[in-house]
Amino acid sequence: MSWNLTCCKVSVPPLAWCLLLYKNGQAILLHGANVEISDLGFVEGAWSGAFIDYAFDRTDTFMGTGGRIRSSTFIVSTPSHSLDRIHYTRCKHSIILSNSLVFLLNQLGDRLDPCNPFYVRDLSSYIGGKNKMRKWIKTLSKRKIYLARIANLEISTDLDVRVIPRQLPVIGEDFASFSDFLSNTVSALAENARDPKRKIKYHPVSTISSGYDSSAAAVLAKKVGCKTCLTIANARDDLNEFTNLDDSGAPIGDRLGLIVCEFRRDQYLKSADYPEAEFLASGTGGNDVILADAEPKLANSLLFTGFHGDKVWQRNKKKVADGDMIRGDTSGSSLLEFRLRTGFIHLPIPCIGATRQTIISEISNSPEMKPWSVGGAYDRPIPRRVVEEAGVPREMFGQEKKAVGQPFNATPNVSLVHGRPLQQLLSQNSYADFQIWLKNLSCKDTLLNNRSFKLMRFLHSPLPWRIRNLLYTIGIVKRTISLLDEFRYTYPLTEHDYLLQWAIEKMAHVYDVDHSDLPHNLIPSKPLNES
């Protein structure tokens, strides 16, 4: 039996989709206006291959999500990096998948448990790599929502699901080979993104800063026709090792001959329409809200960024298993809902080839890269060489580590997030609305003082943690602290842990599908969560 796909355009964000697969081989796709559709499947994104072939499931670099029918198998593909994910759940006679958690919950008629403070911690655990990331979360109705990253989901007409790791790239073992791989991959992605057979053609736009990673991204973007770059003028002011807060990449952009559009990271605070909600709704902290002001420049763009360069390009000797990605933070992963609505493809340049991080680290530490190594804790020879060889003087970039992202998740200081109370991090209307929502959450006070949580916090403090690992090392216990969870228990519980549920409730209406717009035979006879 083969899959029979019916596609229905609905009034949701342009790049959002929700796929319903039934045991009889029927597949129904609800999708936004800019999702590409063919007889072979559907896609929102670009990959290092010919657009007409729809072979994004068989390439080593895919920036986006999509589904490809191959006979009796429906292959649903995640990006080749871990910043974005696919969500799916099993119903009685169907499987439902989506690139948006909000869309999936809406179609299920379900919601997150408003009293569960661990969602953001669980959804952010992917930064620890495959062995530490949560594989699923539970909804209010106790339904499991599975989370897939860097994988193909192979689904048979019997609804058996196999999770297959994405193909590993061949990146070479020296700088010349790796540089060629980067350039060739970027060129292939750009060609795919602007293929004339697409209904939407995407043009390259890059971010740029005074640091290493986005500067290297801008160099590569220019090679494929990029004319415009976006820069955040001001860095965060809560990290006191910075000698100045100017993080503008304008001088570098000018040097590269690019048009520079400058924005301020805190501009979203002046908005009255809950601007943080769609960034928080990804469940990974909301860091990327600082790009909200750049929205007019992003529609139909292939956006080059430098996310993940802090790990994959930093000069260190840490080994990471092939096929895995271990991140330093969640930056870049809260762009999802903003991206689906605004309509751009996200291309985090350091993620190209990043599933071969050990090889990249060996290149960074090789003798041939010593001329581009400046020493110290902020030393990234690969992007430095890329940028310097493009004609940018050494002293113009990569001089000190700065940060512009705005995380909203809690830190060890219970009342502050990176030195500021939540009231200063949310726009006025958002903070007021969140406080009203929180006030109506009767379970909050009980959870914040939960004794079992405090016990787990204690077990994750340095002394008990070290004792347990010592006992494991000398053979007295057979397991390490795998029963514990560093992502859940590193920080105290605070009101910040409920921002996700608030954000999803603010966004839910965006995914209301008018069933009267659907063909009569596709309108579910019963709720999807019973199908």
pLDDT along the chain (531 residues), means of 10: 94 98 96 98 99 98 98 97 98 96 97 94 94 95 98 98 97 98 99 98 98 98 98 78 77 98 94 96 96 97 98 89 94 98 99 97 97 95 98 95 82 58 93 95 66 72 62 60 64 87 97 76 52 56
Report the alpha-carbon distance of residue 25 to residue 9 in Å, rounded.
20
Helix (H, G, I), strand (E, B) or coil at 217: helix
Q: What local confidence, expressed as pLDDT, does residue 316 receive?
A: 82
Which residue bears the tokens 């952010």? Answer: 124
pLDDT for the residue 525: 45
pTM exceeds cut of 0.75: yes
Angstrom distances, CA of residue 368 to CA of 211, 371, 373, 385: 22, 7, 10, 11
- The C-alpha atoms of residue 404 and residue 445 are separated, in whole angstroms, by 32
CA distances from 408 to 63, 235, 359, 498, 513 (A): 26, 16, 34, 11, 30
pLDDT at 429: 97
H/E segment holding residue 6: strand 4-9
- The domains of the chain are located at 175-395
Which pLDDT score, from 0 to 100, does residue 30 have?
98
Asked if residues 284 and 120 have their Cβ atoms less than 8 Å apart, the reply is yes
Output the pLDDT for position 526. 47
Neighbour order of strands in the sheet with 4-9:
4-9, 26-31, 17-22, 94-98, 86-90, 144-148, 136-138
> Tokens standing for 132?
């530490």
Decide: residue 9, CB within 10 A, 0-12 exposed, 13-18 middle, 19+ buried. middle
Of 114, 489, 81, 513, which Cα lies nearest the Cα of 307?
Answer: 81
Residue whose token pair is 């009767």: 442
Report how far residue 424's alpha carbon sits from residue 237's, in angstroms, rounded to the nearest whole number: 13
**DSSP character at residue 440:** T
**Can you state the angle between helices 101-108 and 499-507, rounded to 10 degrees?**
70
- What is the three-class DSSP state of 67? strand
CATH topology classification for 175-395: Rossmann fold (3.40.50)
